[in-house]
Structure 1
Amino acid sequence: MKRFLYTLLLGMAINNASAQTQLKMTPELLWKLGRLGSENLTPDGKHLIYSVTRYNMTEAKSEAKLYSIPVTGGEVTTLTNEPGSKQVIKVEADGRIIYFADDNIWQMDAAGKQIIKLTAEPLKDADNIQISPDGKKIIYTIDVPVVKILGKDRYEDLPKSNAYVFTDLNYRHWDTWEDGKFSHVFVADYANGKVSNAKDIMANEPYDTPQKPSGGAEDLIFSTDSKSVIYVCKKKFGKEYAQSTNTDLYQYDIAAGTTKNLTEGMMGYDTNPAFTKTGDKLAWLSMKEDGYESDKNDIVIKDFKTGNKVNLTEQWDETVSSFRFSDDGSRIFFIAPKNGTEQLFQIDLRLRLAPGSPQAIKQLTKGQFDINGIVAQSGNTLFVQRADLNHATELYSLNLNDGGMKQISTINKEIYDHLPMSRVEERHIKTTDNKDMLAWVIYPPDFDPAKKYPTLLFCQGGPQSPLTQAYSFRWNFQLMAAQGYIIIAPNRRGMPGHGVEWNREISGDWGGQPIQDYLSAIDDIAKEPYVDKNRLGCIGASYGGYSVYMLAGVHNNRFKTFIAHDGLFDLKSWYGTTEELWFANKDMGGNYWDKDNKVAQNSYAKFNPSNLVDKWNTPIMVIQGGKDYRVPIEQGLGAFQAAQLKGIKSKLLYLPDENHWVLKPQNALVWQREFFNWLKETL
C-alpha cells in the first residue's frame, strides 16, 4: 500500500509539473530513483525476481523490496512490503522463494504470500548464505574473534577499555580498525530451514573470506556435487597481507575436513570461482603479478577430467570484469571494458583453437551503454543489467542469435518519462605523445550551440578504473549537465578498455602523461565556440582528487575553480598512513626512503602535489571522509590548510562518518548541494 501511495503521489507531482514544464534532474530527484539489485531467474524461466532499493531521506534509511516480473516484461508483482533488506537464497522448482532477513531464513510462495519462518534459531550476524545444490548443506560467513587486539580482550579485568594494541601492519582497512575478528566460512547441515552441526572451516585462521572491503557471496561457492566448498582467501597476515594481492582458491572437502590450495603458484588475485552445471570444469578470474591490483584480469579454466588448466584470454588485449558459464557449459559469457563502455563477450569453448586464442572471443553487444551484470540464461536468451549516463541500471533480455536487446524492468519510468535527457557524444583527442584518446562529452539537456557554457573536466579515480557509461549516484553527469554545465570525461592513460599497454602506462607515472592527457582534453574541448573558455572547472575523486591537486599546480590559469574529493595531496604522508601498501608500492614505484629507487624518488619529488603548492592560485573546494583509511584525513586537511594559508578562496567539506565513498543519504545530499553551490560561487 505504501508503495502504491508513493507511486500515486510521485506520479501526480510529475504530471502537475509536466503540465507547465519538464522535470529537471536535481540532487533530490536523483535520490528518488530506485536502485536495482539481487536478480534471480525462476527455474521455469518465466519470471525474474529482483530487489529495488529506495531511500527515505527524512529517516536517512534505505529499504529494499523484492519484485517479480515476467521475462517478457509487463506487470510487476510486489513480493515484500516489510521494512528491511532481504537476500534471496534460492528459488525452488515450484516457485517458492527462500530468502534471508532479520537473521532468519524465510519462505514465501511465487506471489509473495504464505510467508513462513523456517529457522528455529536465528543465524545471528550471518551473511553470504547459500544452500548446496542437493539441498542438504548450507554455507554462510560470520565474523569470529581470532587475535586479541582490544584492551578488554587482552585484560579481562579491564572490560571498559577501548584501547587497541598492534605489533604488526594492517592495523586498519578501508574504514575499519582491526579488532581481532575475521570473517570465516561456516558449513552446516540443512533441512527445511533447520541448521545444525555448523563448522568453521577456517577455524583459528587470522584471514578473511569474503575479501575486504568489497568481496561478497562470489567469494564462496559449493561444488556442483555438494561435496566441497571453494572459497577465496588471502592467507597472509600483517605486513605480508598489506603488501600482497595474492589471493588463492581453496577447496574444502566437507566429509574429510581437509583443505587444499587450487591455485598454488598463481601469484596475483584469483577470484570469482564458478563451476559448469556438470561440475567437470572450474573457471575463475586471475591476475599474474603479486602486488598489482589492476593487472590484466584473465579467465582461467581447469578441466577436472584431464587436469588441464588453460588461460582462455591470455592473448586477448583487454581485461575481464566478470563472467558466467552458459547453461550447457559450451561457452563463457563475460563483461569487459571496451572503448569507454562495458560490453558483453563470449568465448566458445567448442572451437579447437590455441589456448587463449583471441579468435575464440566474440563481442555480443555494442552501443553507447554499459552491460554491468549477467543475471541468467534461458535458452537463446541472456538476461543482463544495462545502464547509460542518462539511465540507472535496468534489466534487459539479449537475444543470443541476433544480438537484439529488450528492456524488461522499468523501475524509474515514471521519472524518466518526464525528464529531458542529455546528449552524450564520443570525442577523439590527440594526446601530447600523438596517441588517440577517447573522451565522453555530456551536454545540458537544452543545449544550444549558439550559447556559451561553463565546462567541467572530470578526472576519474582508480587510477586504473574504467570510465564508461556507468550511472553514478554521486558523480552523476546527467545531474551536472542539468545544472547547465558541459562535462568532458577523458579516458586518459591508465584506464582499461583501450588495450593492456594503455592500462599499464600510468603505474610509476601518476603525474606525468596522464596529467598531460587531462590538459589535452580540456584544451581540445575549449576550442569549441559553445565553450566559455573563461569558465572552466576541474573536478575529481581519489586519483581524480590527486589529479585536481596536481593540475592546480600546473594548469597555467586554464581553470577558474577546482573540486577534489578524497584526493592524495602529499605522497610521503600518504605512504605512511594508507593501509594496502601493495597499491603504493606498485603505483609509486616503492617507498620514499629508498634513495636508489629512481622510479619512487621521481614519484615522491616530481609527482607530489604538495611540492607544487607555491604555484596554486585558484579557488579550491576540498572534500574529505573521516573514515577513509585508503586516503586518510591528513590528505584533505593538508590541502585545505595550504590553500587557506596562501589566501586562496577555499572550502572544506568534512564528512566524519564517511569512508572513501559517501554512503549516508543525507550526507550525499549535503555533498551535492555544496558541490553545486561552490560551482555557482566560483564558476
Structure 2
Amino acid sequence: MKTFVLAALASLFTAGTAAAQNEYAEIARLRDLNETVRGIRSMNDGEHYTVLESGDIVRYRYAEAGRGVSLLPQPKPGMEITDYAFSPDERQLLIASGRTPIYRHSYTTRYYLSDGSALSPVLTGAEAPRDATFSPDGRMIAYSDRNDLYLWEIAAGKTRRITTDGVWNEVINGTTDWVYEEEFGFTRAYAFSPDSRRLAYLRFDESAVPLMEMMRYDGKLYNRAFSFKYPKAGERNATVQLWVADLTTGEKTRIDTGPESDQYIPRIGFTPDGRLWFYRLNRRQNTFEMIVCEPHGAQRTAYEERAQQYVERVDGSTITFVDRDRFLVRQESHTGYMHLYLYSLRSGLLSQVTRGDWEVTRVVGTDGKRVWYLSTETSPLRRNLYSVRLDGRDKRRLTPGEGYYDIAPSRGMKYYISTFSNASTPNRVEIADGSGRAVRTLCESRELRDELAASRRPVREFFTFTTERGDTLHAWIVRPRDFDPAKRYPVLLTQYSGPGSQQVRDRWSLDWEDALVDKGYVVACTDGRGTGFRGEKFKKQTYGRLGALETEDQLSFARHLASQPWVDPDRIGIYGWSYGGFMALSCALKGHGLFRVAIAVAPVTSWRYYDSIYTEIYSNLPQYNAAGYDDNSPLNFARMLDDGRTRLLLIHGTADDNVHFQNTAEMARALNRAGKRYDMMIYPDQNHSMQPDDTHNVRQKMIDYTLQHL
C-alpha cells in the first residue's frame, strides 16, 4: 500500500511538472515569433544593405523590393555566422563563425575570408583569435590572440606579431580587461590610422589587480578554479597605457596620457585627418576629456566635461565626428538633460544643436549638414527619430508611430531601417528614406499579431502614481484576461531600478511574468528615483546611497497597489535580477512582511563585492563613502526578514563572473546567523544570464515558486 501511494504521488508530481514546463515554453515560443532583421550592414553607396539569412549574407536595395543577392555562393555546410564585416572596398568579407564565450561580450571564434567565389579559413595559426578587423586599406587584418596583438597580411598569407608580452592575468594588449569589457562595453582596444600606417592600442597591466577565483564543476571528478582579475570597488585597477605601432618601421611608441596612472582610457581612435585621440576619465568619473595628439607631439584637450557627482557613462557614441574639424557631443551637464552640442577641434563650442526638457538617447548619423537622432521628446517612455540642422534649426520628426523605434542607418543617411513596436504591437520593420518617407515594409510579425489577437492576450497599461513623499513615478500594469474589479488579485512587482535604467517603456515585450498573468495574477512595474530619461536631477539623487531611495519607492508602489480594491493585500510579491535582485532582497528585508514572496536572482548583497567602474561612479570609492556601501547592504538587515510572512527565494549561478556567487553565499551566511528560513536555487556552472544551459529552467522555476507561494 505504501509503495502504491508513493508511486501515485510520484506520477502526479511528474505530470504536474510536465504541464508546468509548458508555461514558459509557450512564452518563449511567442517571443520567437516577434520578427526582426538580423545583421544589417549598410554598403558604401548608401543604396544597398546586407543581412544575415539562414547562414548566408544577402544583399538588397533599400529603394525597391526584389530578390536578394547571395554573397556567399559557396557557404560552408553547417556554418554559423556570428559576425561579419566588409573590406573597405567591399570586395571581401571577413566572417566570424562560431562563438566560444569568454565573458559577456568577448569570445573566440574561427575566421573565414570570402571574395564572392570562395570561402577560405584565415588566421589559421592563431590558437584563440578574436576581435579581428580589416585595415582601412584592406590589405591587413588585425586581431588578438592570447593577450597579444597580431596582423595578418592578406596577400602574403603571413602573420606579423605586434606585441610579445601578453600573459593571462598579467598583461593584455589590444583587447580589454574584464571591467572595461563589462562597464565600458567594448573589447577591441586598438585602432588603425586612416592611412593604415599606424596601429594604436591599449596595454593593460593587471598584475596587481586582485585575483578572483570562480569554482567550476563541469560534471568532473575534481572541481577546478577559474581565476581572473576582477577589481572590486576601492581595489587596484589595471594600469592602462596607450601605445602606437608604426607598421612600416615596426617601432612602438608609448603615448603620454598624463601623470595619473589610476584613471580610465575608455576609447581611442583617429580623427578623419589622421590625428590620434583618446578619452581620459578620472577614477571618480566626474571629469571627462577627449585629448587630441598633434603630429608634432603636442596634445590638447578638444573637449572637457565636469560634474559634481559623475559624468554619465561614456561610450563610442559620446562623441561623433562630422568631418575633419567638427564633432558632436552628447552630454547632460550643461542643461540637466542629455542633448547634442557641435564642437570644432580648432574653435571649441560652435552651437547647441538640441534643447528642451527631454533627452537625446542616441545619435543615429549625420551627412555633414544635418544630424539624425533618437529622443524622448514625445514621452520618456518612447523613442522617435528626428533630424535637425547642425545649427539647431529646421527640426523634423521623421517617425510617425507612438512607441519605441530602433534605427539602422544607411551610409550618408540616404535611407534607414526602423524597427517599431509598442505595448500592444510587436515588431514592424520598415525602410524609409532620409526624410522619413516610407519606402516599404520588410516584416511585421503578422503570425504573432494574429495569435495575440485571437488569444486576447492582455496588454500593458501605463500610468503614473505619486508616492507618500510627493514623487511622481511612471509605472505599468498587466491585468489577467476577463479582469473583474470586484475580485481581489495577487500581484507580482517586477523591477530593475538601477541608476539610469528604464523598465517602464512603451515597447512590446513578453517574459516569464506574463505566464503568471495567464494564471490570474496582476503584474506591475515602476521606475523609481535614480532611473533614467527624466533628466539629471531625477537620476542622480540616488548618488552615494544606492538602494535607499529605490527601496522606498518600491515599498510605496506596493502600498499603493495594496490600497486598490481589486488587489489582495496579503498576496503581493516582488522579483528582480542583478541590481533588481539587490532591490527585491532589500524590499523583502525592509518590507516588514509587506511581501508574501520575494525572488532575488543573482543579487548584489554588498556593493563592496562589485566592480570598481560601476560601483564607484555611483557611490565614490568605499574609502571615502563607507556608509554609502554599508548602510543599505542587505547583509546588514538579515535579522529583519519576516520569514513567517515572506517566502524568500535566492537564485544564483556558480559561474557568475559578473555578480559573484559570493554575494549569495554571504547572504545565506547572514540569514543563517539570524536564524531565518529561506529557499535557494543554485545553478552549477551558469553565468550571470544562466547560460549556457538554464535560461529556460530558471524562469520556469520562478513561475512554479510564485504559483505555489503567492
2:154 is matched by which residue type in structure 1?
Y
Counterpart position of 1:401: 435
Counterpart position of 1:315: 334
How many angstroms does 1:89 deviate by?
2.0
Is 1:210 the equivalent of 2:175?
yes
1:651 is matched by which residue type in structure 2?
D
2:553 is matched by which residue type in structure 1?
D
C-alpha distance in structure 1 between counterparts of 2:685 and 2:425, whole Å: 29
Counterpart position of 2:284: 290
How many angstroms does 1:126 deviate by?
1.5
Structure 1 residues 34, 360: closer, same or farther in 2, change over 3 A?
A: closer
- Which of 247, 252, 260 aligns to 1:254? It is 247
C-alpha distance in structure 2 between counterparts of 1:614 and 1:29, whole Å: 40
Counterpart position of 2:560: 524
How many angstroms does 1:423 deviate by?
1.8
Structure 1 residues 561, 312: closer, same or farther in 2, change over 3 A?
A: closer
- Which of 410, 415, 424 aligns to 2:460? It is 424
Counterpart position of 1:131: 134
Q: Contact 1:387/1:394 (CA < 8 Å) preserved in 2?
A: yes
Is 1:678 the equivalent of 2:705?
yes
- Which of 653, 658, 663 aligns to 2:686? It is 658
How many angstroms does 1:90 deviate by?
0.8
C-alpha distance in structure 1 between counterparts of 2:706 and 2:480, whole Å: 15
Counterpart position of 2:157: 194
C-alpha distance in structure 2 between counterparts of 1:142 and 1:667, whole Å: 30
C-alpha distance in structure 2 between counterparts of 1:31 and 1:243, whole Å: 43
Instruction: Give the TM-score taking structure 2 as reference length.
Output: 0.68
Superposition pairs of residues 420-459 of structure 1, within 5 angstroms: 420=453, 421-444=457-480, 452-459=488-495
Q: Deviations over 1:602-647 (max 9, x none)?
A: 6414544442433423011110110224432233234456667878
Structure 1 residues 469, 312: closer, same or farther in 2, change over 3 A?
A: closer
- Aligned to 1:495, the other structure's residue is in SS state coil
Counterpart position of 2:40: 39
Counterpart position of 2:86: 90
2:49 is matched by which residue type in structure 1?
L
Structure 1 residues 482, 566: closer, same or farther in 2, change over 3 A?
A: same
Structure 1 residues 251, 304: closer, same or farther in 2, change over 3 A?
A: farther
C-alpha distance in structure 2 between counterparts of 1:318 and 1:669, whole Å: 39
Structure 1 residues 227, 419: closer, same or farther in 2, change over 3 A?
A: farther
Stretches of structure 2 lacking an aligned partner (at least 5 in a row)? 1-23, 98-108, 211-230, 287-308, 339-359
How many angstroms does 1:536 deviate by?
1.5
Is 1:636 the equivalent of 2:664?
yes
Is 1:99 the equivalent of 2:134?
no
Structure 1 residues 509, 655: closer, same or farther in 2, change over 3 A?
A: same
1:601 is matched by which residue type in structure 2?
A
C-alpha distance in structure 2 between counterparts of 1:221 and 1:363, whole Å: 35
Counterpart position of 1:539: 575
Superposition pairs of residues 5-404 of structure 1, within 5 angstroms: 25-27=26-28, 29-30=30-31, 37-51=38-52, 66=57, 70-71=61-62, 82-90=78-86, 97-101=93-97, 103-107=110-114, 109=116, 114-117=117-120, 119=122, 121=124, 123-144=126-147, 184-191=148-155, 194-200=157-163, 206-207=171-172, 209-211=174-176, 212=178, 213-214=181-182, 215-216=185-186, 219-231=189-201, 238-239=208-209, 242-243=235-236, 252-255=245-248, 257-259=251-253, 261=255, 271=266, 279=273, 290=284, 295-297=311-313, 299-300=318-319, 311=329, 313=331, 314-318=333-337, 323=363, 325-326=365-366, 328-333=367-372, 340-341=380-381, 343=383, 350-351=390-391, 369-372=403-406, 374-377=408-411, 379-384=413-418, 395-402=429-436
C-alpha distance in structure 2 between counterparts of 1:255 and 1:468, whole Å: 53
Q: Contact 2:364/2:407 (CA < 8 Å) preserved in 1?
A: no
C-alpha distance in structure 2 between counterparts of 1:538 and 1:423, whole Å: 20
Q: Deviations over 1:62-102 (max 9, x none)?
A: xx665555536676778656243342121676776442336
Q: Deviations over 1:421-480 (max 9, x none)?
A: 542233222234323222233444665656544322122054443335498999555555
How many angstroms does 1:376 deviate by?
3.4
Counterpart position of 2:529: 493
Is 1:504 the equivalent of 2:551?
no
C-alpha distance in structure 2 between counterparts of 1:417 and 1:377, whole Å: 35
- Aligned to 2:573, the other structure's residue is in SS state strand
Q: Contact 2:319/2:329 (CA < 8 Å) preserved in 1?
A: yes
C-alpha distance in structure 1 between counterparts of 2:414 and 2:612, whole Å: 45
C-alpha distance in structure 1 between counterparts of 2:575 and 2:172, whole Å: 38
Greater shift in the superposed pair: 621-630 or 478-487: 478-487
- Aligned to 1:382, the other structure's residue is in SS state strand
C-alpha distance in structure 1 between counterparts of 2:276 and 2:519, whole Å: 49
Counterpart position of 1:152: none
Q: Contact 1:461/1:542 (CA < 8 Å) preserved in 2?
A: no
Structure 1 residues 291, 92: closer, same or farther in 2, change over 3 A?
A: closer
Structure 1 residues 443, 125: closer, same or farther in 2, change over 3 A?
A: farther
- Which of 616, 622, 627 aligns to 1:601? It is 627
- Which of 558, 578, 589 aligns to 2:594? It is 558
- Aligned to 1:38, the other structure's residue is in SS state coil
How many angstroms does 1:676 deviate by?
0.3
How many angstroms does 1:526 deviate by?
3.9
C-alpha distance in structure 2 between counterparts of 1:275 and 1:385, whole Å: 32
Instruction: Give the TM-score taking structure 1 as reference length.
Output: 0.71
**Coordinate RMSD, CA, aligned:** 4.6
